[in-house]
Structure 1
Amino acid sequence: MTGVEARVPGRGSRHGVLRAAIAMDVRLQRRYGFWHATAVVIALWIGVLRLVPDGLLGAAMPYLLMSDLQFFLFFIAGALFFEKGERTLFALLTSPLRFGHYLTAKLVTMSALALVTCAVVVAVDYGTGFNAPALLGGVVFMALLMVLAGFITAPLFPSISEWLLPSTLLLALVNAPIVDYSGLYPHLAFYLVPSQAPLLLLGAAFHQVELAGWQVAYAIGYPIMWIVLLCLLARRVFHRHVIAREGGR
């Protein structure tokens, strides 16, 4: 049995391993320069929003935050390739860390970083007056979907340069619901794309759309369903394309 699947006895021990995994992931993010990159992105978006007239700021925020959150697709892919290159993943295979702890740590730290990024941008440029629950839901759901998408697709490629081109196709799909949201071509088919749900929540957060009851249920339930499915797929991909390769070296 590999280290990432070894069970740690006792509930307190499991929680301790998870806390250690989160702490380790925070240190790795700092080491890999993700915090500096996030600071640059925050400064960039704050500067861009300064150019937007006040009357259009609410309409611009959902688009900007969607673009901002898509950076986490590249952050998680970069983290995985860094860890692979430094043989960090090989060390994890011989530790008591389970896959669930490893993935949860990634999801927690990345979504927390996303929340901080979006909170700073909104606070500086938009101020108060937004719908906090809708903003929280939109940011967290979008961040989790992006992190899981990167976690699943990055291990399929031997290098980040080979992953970049397919990632643009993924981003094209992620951005497809903007066509519906903007009113260019409204169609229910866009609701099949998971990113439609957080986009609606972000629109509601800044009072750009008024969601019907079924849309609220969709915006909450649909991304949760996808997050669960993607977590299961992430385990399969990790075992087949990471554990099998690292363990065989």
Structure 2
Amino acid sequence: MKRLAASLWLDFRLQFRNGFYYAAAFVTVVAIVIFRQFPNLDFKWLLPALLLNNLLVGTFYFFGGLVLLEKKEGTLEALIVTPIRTWEYLLSKVVTLTALAILENVVFVIFVYGFDFKPLLLVLGISLSAAIFCLFGFIAVARYDSINEYLFPSVLYTAVMSLVFLNYFGLWESWLFYLHPLQAPLLLLKSAFSPLKNWQVIYGLLYSALSVGLIFLLSQKMFYRFIIKKEGVR
């Protein structure tokens, strides 16, 4: 527990020192200013998709940026020989980035939409979405050492993750989308603003938790393969 607490503190300092919190605050303020110019938009319908899109940058790309930064500074290699466990390293970043995501997105919702939402479902939707994005962010970046190598593969990852928007906006409706790991947290976000059937909320909670667990295990394997063993590192 002490190792995890120390890792959380180090990650907080790293993110603060490199301007992640300033960047998040700036983007949030700009987004609030822009969307407050359109009070007639159907935010109850639009917000879940907006939030999921916001989380993509604040978690997936922030996580990737942190890993690349640590590789460049040699911090990641140094961590390998310390007592810190792989799961503690991953969990620390997921927790700190998720906390930031909750703060910035709840503030965004309040200033753009008001308080007419279910706080618990909103926080759960943001948290589970952020965790999935964070872990996919690590998987996407694990084998790369530079932003140039990482950039194109990251776009492919985001394209696949964004497929849920096809179903959400009615462009392609299929039950297959319920197998997509982000469909479940997207439904939770939707349930924070609009009533859904009980089975949809239960599915959102259980499938999101299952997705986080499985992707976390995969992330640990990727850490061992590309960070510790350095297989195929580019």
- The 10-residue stretch of structure 1 (75-84 or 134-143) with the greater mean CA deviation from structure 2: 134-143
TM-score, normalisation: structure 1: 0.88
Distance 2:68 2:172 in 1: 38
- The 10-residue stretch of structure 1 (70-79 or 190-199) with the greater mean CA deviation from structure 2: 190-199
Match of 2:10 in 1: 24
Distance 2:88 2:159 in 1: 31
Distance 1:177 1:103 in 2: 25
Name the aligned partner's letter for residue 229 of structure 1.
L
Q: Deviations over 1:148-189 (max 9, x none)?
A: 001111012232222111211211221212221222332111
Residue of 232, 236, 241 corresponding to 2:221: 236
Name the aligned partner's letter for residue 226 of structure 1.
S
How far the C-alpha of 1:23 sits from its partner, in A, is 0.4
Contact in 2 for aligned 1:173/1:193 (Cα 8 Å): no
Match of 2:176 in 1: 189
Is 1:77 aligned with 2:81? no
Contact in 2 for aligned 1:32/1:79 (Cα 8 Å): no
How far the C-alpha of 1:55 sits from its partner, in A, is 5.1
Alignment of 1:139-178 (within 5 A): 139-178=126-165
Unaligned ranges ≥5, structure 2: none
How far the C-alpha of 1:211 sits from its partner, in A, is 2.2
Contact in 2 for aligned 1:201/1:219 (Cα 8 Å): yes
Unaligned ranges ≥5, structure 1: 1-14
- The 10-residue stretch of structure 1 (66-75 or 122-131) with the greater mean CA deviation from structure 2: 122-131
Q: Deviations over 1:45-82 (max 9, x none)?
A: 11221122245222221121111100111100000000
Distance 1:183 1:127 in 2: 26
Q: Deviations over 1:58-107 (max 9, x none)?
A: 22211211111001111000000000000001221222211121111111
Residue of 91, 95, 106 corresponding to 1:119: 106
Contact in 1 for aligned 2:184/2:204 (Cα 8 Å): yes
Q: Deviations over 1:95-136 (max 9, x none)?
A: 221112111111110110100111111121211110112211
Count of residues paired in the alignment: 230
Contact in 2 for aligned 1:115/1:139 (Cα 8 Å): yes
Match of 2:201 in 1: 216
Distance 2:168 2:18 in 1: 35
Match of 1:6 in 2: none
TM-score, normalisation: structure 2: 0.93
Q: Which stretches of structure 1, 4 residues or more, deviate above 6 A after TM superposition?
A: none
How far the C-alpha of 1:30 sits from its partner, in A, is 0.8
- The 10-residue stretch of structure 1 (157-166 or 50-59) with the greater mean CA deviation from structure 2: 50-59
Contact in 2 for aligned 1:134/1:205 (Cα 8 Å): yes
Match of 2:45 in 1: 59
Contact in 1 for aligned 2:72/2:145 (Cα 8 Å): no
Using the aligned pairs only, state the percent identity. 38
How far the C-alpha of 1:213 sits from its partner, in A, is 2.6
Residue of 1, 11, 21 corresponding to 1:35: 21
